[in-house]
């Protein structure tokens, strides 16, 4: 038996990679991802222009509102909250995407998350930054927004800790800080790769950001541990954040809001809209940056299935809420439910049910899951459904209530729509900048996927080194060509 054949008798382990192409070299991973960060083409600038334009409209609307008051937003004595709060909740919800993919799936070793979690985490951070705008601009006296922070005021005044809005402030700040940290720390090895391949201002930026990463063993060990710890910390934080945001409503006594299931319902909705947004951005990034090798169909398939499961959880919790109202004694709550279903807002309510509960069934069809165009629109409409859901939580309750004198149907004014649209512009701006400055696919984790697939176990390390370091001759075939158990 030759040396090779004897080696062949040693342990060989394979892990078939199901989710990603078999023959990707690490170098290719680097070049593909780094290429996506090169100078942008026209399409990018068009997208950026649209985002900036929307954001500019939002700035204008905010200046207008700052000058004239909250009146032009069409708010009134009955509808003291409207699109600002519902869009706020929507963006907080969207922010759960990254946490889900990064943290939760990391803990359960779902490796298929590896190519896609980077942009999902970015989405989390930017969603939070977008969401954070709304509690500030919805205030009547915006310039005093910092009073919600507990600081040593010279009058000894503290915020009111009994208020869910203060809990919001704490929760969102904590979540934002943690998410930024998580995103950044997880990106350090990649930033080092960028540093090694960059020139000019980028090189300076990446050098500074990568904190002297060398890729040695001790650093990797620290890194893995830190990453895991933050992930473990982030998951309960994410659940609590959206639960706290839901308590803005459930701690109120308004019919339709005073619902115990709101915390899990909101968290489920958040995960749902996060997943749907992941699908959308997945398709966009895959198409525009030609990431077909990394953001593969099998991964998309899995994301779709996950979305479907979460959609069903959300649907269940939704129906639980309806059922508990329907069979309960709380007349005002029942009136609100009936108003949602048959009143002036009913088209939006039924659209929400259609997009939120019926449309996900499309994800069960393999054809849909493979068709990029259809899937794109499906995912966008899933998120439309989730935005409608937030609106249908806020407004129908305020259009009814305990006192019939306050019954009033209100439609949002141009200021509110401008702010909502502008928030998408702001998010778009942030995300577009991100994909050009930072790697939107986690290079080192994709390498791990490939590495694991190619991993073989040898008893003799020296033989392994010989095998891989010398010039391969016809007799020293790579281990992959020997079958396991020759």
Partner 1 sequence: MSSTKIDRRNFLKVLGLGGAGAALAGCDMPSYATLEEGEEQVFSYLAPEEYVIPGIGVWYASTCLQCPAGCGVHGRVREGRALKLEGNPNTAVNRGKLCQMGQAALQTHYNPDRIAKPRIGAKEVTWAQALAFIKAKSTGTPAWLTGAISGHQGVLMDAHLNASGGGKHYGVEIVNAQAWRSACADTIGDAQPDLHIDKARSMVSFGADVLGTWISPVKFMADYGEFRAAPRGVLTVIEPAMTLSGANADHWVAARPGSEAAVALGVANALATEYSVSTSALPTGVADAIFTMTPERVRELSGVDTRTLSRIAGTLMSNSPSLVIGDGSYENAVAAMALNLMLGNIGATITPGADLVPADLAMRDGSTKALANFAKNAQSGDIQAAFISGANPVFTAPDGLNMKDALAKIELKVAIAMFEDETTQFCDVVLPLASPLEDWGTHAPPLGAARGEIHVQQPLMEKLHPEALGLGDILLGLAQDAGAAGLDDFEDYYGYLRTAISAMIGTGQEAAWQDVLQAGKVQAPATQRSFTANGSLTINVPESKAPGKGELILITTARQGLYDGRHANLPWLQEAPDQISKAVWDSWAEIHPTTAARLGLKDGDYVTITSADGALTTRIFLYKGVHPDAIAVPMGQGHTHYGRYASSVGVNPLNLLGADTDARTGEVSNTTTVHVQATGDNRYLVRLMDIDRQYGRKLTATISADQQRRNQSNKQGGA
Partner 2 sequence: MPSLLGNIFKGWAHYSKGVEEGGHHDYEHMFAMVIDLDRCTGCNACSTACYAENNLPVVGEDKFGARQAMHWMRVERYFDEPDMDKIAAAEETDTQSRGASFLPMMCQHCNAAPCEPVCPVGATYHTLDGLNAQVYNRCIGSRYCANNCPFRVRYFNFYDTAESWPAPMDQQLNPDLSVRSKGVMEKCTMCIQRTRAARDTAKREGRALIDGDIQTACQQTCPTSAIVFGDLLDETSAVAKIWKRQQVKLGTYKQNKENPDLRGYRIFEELNVDAKVLYLERVREV
Binding site for partner 2 (CB under 8 A): 68-71, 74-78, 80-81, 135, 138-142, 144-145, 147-148, 152, 156-166, 169, 248, 251-254, 398, 401-403, 405-406, 408, 410
Q: How far is the CB of 153 from partner 1 (least distance, A)?
A: 14
Q: How far is the CB of 248 from partner 2 (least distance, A)?
A: 7
Q: How far is the CB of 159 from partner 2 (least distance, A)?
A: 5
Interface with partner 1, residue 416, by CB under 8 A? no
If contact means CB under 5 to 8 A according to the sort of partner, which of partner 2, partner 1, none does residue 163 touch?
partner 2
Dist. CA 124–CA 320, nearest whole Å? 28
If contact means CB under 5 to 8 A according to the sort of partner, which of partner 1, partner 2, none does residue 69 touch?
partner 2
Interface with partner 1, residue 13, by CB under 8 A? no
Which residues have C-beta within 8 Å of that of residue 462, sequence separation ≥ 6?
Answer: none
If contact means CB under 5 to 8 A according to the sort of partner, which of partner 2, partner 1, none does residue 77 touch?
partner 2
Q: Give the helix, strand, coil percentages of the chain, each rounded to 5.
A: 70, 0, 30
Alpha carbon 231 to its chain's center = 14
Read out DSSP for 402-428? S-GGG-------HHHHHHHHHHHHHHH
Q: How far is the CB of 250 from partner 1 (least distance, A)?
A: 23
> Quick one: 307 or 399, whose CB is closer to partner 1?
399
Q: What is the largest CA-CA distance in the chain?
A: 95
DSSP 74: T
Torsion angle (degrees, nearest 10) of CA 428, 65, 383, 312: 140
Alpha carbon 194 to its chain's center = 24
177: its two tokens: 């800080």
- Residue linked to tokens 């694991």: 452
> Quick one: 331 or 364, whose CB is closer to partner 1?
331
String of b and e for 242-268 (b: at least 16 CB within 10 Å)?
Answer: bbbbbbbbbbeebbbbbbebbbbbbbb
Question: Please, what is the end-to-end C-alpha distance for the chain in angstroms?
Answer: 12
If contact means CB under 5 to 8 A according to the sort of partner, which of partner 1, partner 2, none does residue 425 touch?
none
Q: How far is the CB of 332 from partner 1 (least distance, A)?
A: 8
Write phi, then psi, for 440 (nearest 5 degrees).
Answer: -90, -5
98: its two tokens: 């990254």
Interface with partner 1, residue 458, by CB under 8 A? no
Q: How far is the CB of 345 from partner 1 (least distance, A)?
A: 17
Interface with partner 1, residue 408, by CB under 8 A? yes
If contact means CB under 5 to 8 A according to the sort of partner, which of partner 1, partner 2, none does residue 335 touch?
partner 1
Binds partner 1 by CB under 8 A, chosen from 9, 221, 402, 468:
402
Report the site for partner 1 in 332-351 (rule: CB under 8 A). 335
> Quick one: 1 or 253, whose CB is closer to partner 2?
253
HSE-CB at 29 with a 13 A cutoff on CA atoms is 25
Three-class secondary structure of residue 46 per DSSP = helix
Binds partner 1 by CB under 8 A, chosen from 156, 347, 404, 473:
404
Q: How far is the CB of 392 from partner 2 (least distance, A)?
A: 16
If contact means CB under 5 to 8 A according to the sort of partner, which of partner 2, partner 1, none does residue 253 touch?
partner 2
Q: How far is the CB of 326 from partner 1 (least distance, A)?
A: 17
- Check: CB of residue 356 under 8 Å from CB of residue 250: no
Interface with partner 1, residue 331, by CB under 8 A? yes
Write phi, then psi, for 478 (nearest 5 degrees).
Answer: -60, 150
225: its two tokens: 């541990």
Interface with partner 1, residue 204, by CB under 8 A? no
Torsion angle (degrees, nearest 10) of CA 43, 47, 48, 53: 140
> Quick one: 63 or 107, whose CB is closer to partner 2?
63
With CB under 8 A as the rule, give the number of residues binding partner 1.
10
Interface with partner 1, residue 9, by CB under 8 A? no
Stretch of residues binding partner 1 (CB under 8 A), selected from 78-86, 182-190, 378-386, 398-406: 398-406
Interface with partner 1, residue 155, by CB under 8 A? no
Write phi, then psi, for 140 (nearest 5 degrees).
Answer: -70, -35
Dist. CA 453–CA 450, nearest whole Å? 5
If contact means CB under 5 to 8 A according to the sort of partner, which of partner 2, partner 1, none does residue 166 touch?
partner 2
Binds partner 1 by CB under 8 A, chosen from 41, 155, 329, 403:
403
Read out DSSP for 247-291? HHHHTS-STTT--TTHHHHHHHHHHHHHHHHHHHHHHHHHHHHT-
Binds partner 1 by CB under 8 A, chosen from 28, 141, 214, 455:
141
Interface with partner 1, residue 321, by CB under 8 A? no
Three-class secondary structure of residue 138 per DSSP = coil
If contact means CB under 5 to 8 A according to the sort of partner, which of partner 2, partner 1, none does residue 331 touch?
partner 1
184: its two tokens: 């950044």
- Check: CB of residue 271 under 8 Å from CB of residue 315: no
Interface with partner 1, residue 223, by CB under 8 A? no
- Can you give the binding site for partner 1, defined by CB under 8 A? 141, 144, 331, 335, 402-405, 407-408
């Amino acid at each position: 038996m030759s040396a090779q054949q004897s080696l062949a008798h040693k342990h060989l382990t394979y892990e078939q990679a199901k989710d990603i192409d078999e023959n990707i070299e690490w170098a290719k991973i680097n070049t593909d991802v780094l290429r996506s960060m090169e100078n942008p083409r026209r399409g990018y600038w068009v997208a950026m222009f649209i985002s900036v334009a929307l954001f500019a409209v939002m700035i204008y609307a905010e200046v207008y509102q700052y000058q004239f008051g909250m009146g032009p937003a069409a708010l009134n004595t009955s509808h003291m909250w409207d699109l600002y709060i519902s869009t706020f909740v929507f963006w907080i919800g969207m922010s759960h995407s990254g946490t889900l993919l990064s943290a939760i799936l990391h803990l359960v070793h779902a490796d298929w998350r590896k190519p896609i979690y980077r942009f999902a985490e970015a989405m989390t951070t930017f969603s939070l930054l977008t969401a954070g705008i709304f509690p500030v601009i919805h205030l009547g006296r915006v310039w005093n927004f910092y009073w919600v922070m507990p600081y040593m005021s010279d009058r000894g005044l503290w915020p009111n800790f009994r208020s869910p809005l203060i809990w919001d402030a704490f929760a969102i700040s904590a979540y934002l800080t943690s998410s930024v940290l998580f995103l950044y720390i997880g990106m350090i090895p990649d930033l080092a790769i960028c540093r090694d391949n960059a020139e000019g201002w980028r090189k300076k930026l990446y050098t500074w950001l990568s904190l002297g990463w060398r890729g040695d063993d001790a650093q990797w060990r620290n890194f893995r541990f830190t990453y895991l710890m933050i992930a473990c910390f982030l998951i309960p934080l994410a659940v609590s954040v959206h639960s706290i945001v839901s308590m803005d409503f459930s701690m109120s006594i308004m019919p339709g809001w005073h619902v115990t299931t709101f915390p899990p319902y909101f968290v489920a909705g958040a995960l749902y809209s996060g997943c749907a947004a992941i699908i959308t951005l997945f398709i966009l990034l895959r198409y525009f940056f030609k990431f077909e090798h990394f953001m593969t169909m099998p991964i998309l398939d899995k994301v779709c299935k996950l979305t479907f499961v979460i959609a069903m959880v959300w649907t269940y919790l939704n129906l639980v809420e309806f059922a508990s109202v329907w069979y309960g004694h709380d007349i005002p709550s029942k009136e609100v439910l009936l108003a949602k279903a048959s009143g002036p807002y009913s088209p939006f309510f039924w659209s929400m049910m259609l997009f939120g509960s019926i449309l996900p069934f499309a994800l069960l069809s393999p054809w849909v899951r493979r068709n990029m165009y259809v899937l794109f629109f499906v995912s966008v409409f899933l998120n439309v459904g989730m935005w409608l859901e937030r609106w249908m939580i806020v407004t129908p309750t305020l259009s009814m209530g305990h006192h019939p004198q306050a019954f009033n149907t209100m439609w949002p004014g141009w200021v509110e729509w401008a702010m909502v649209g502008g928030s998408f512009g702001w998010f778009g701006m942030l995300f577009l900048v991100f994909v050009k400055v930072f790697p939107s696919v986690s290079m080192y984790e994709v390498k791990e996927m490939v590495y694991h697939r190619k991993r073989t176990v040898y008893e003799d390390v020296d033989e392994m080194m010989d095998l891989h370091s010398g010039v391969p001759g016809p007799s020293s075939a790579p281990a992959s060509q020997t079958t396991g158990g020759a």
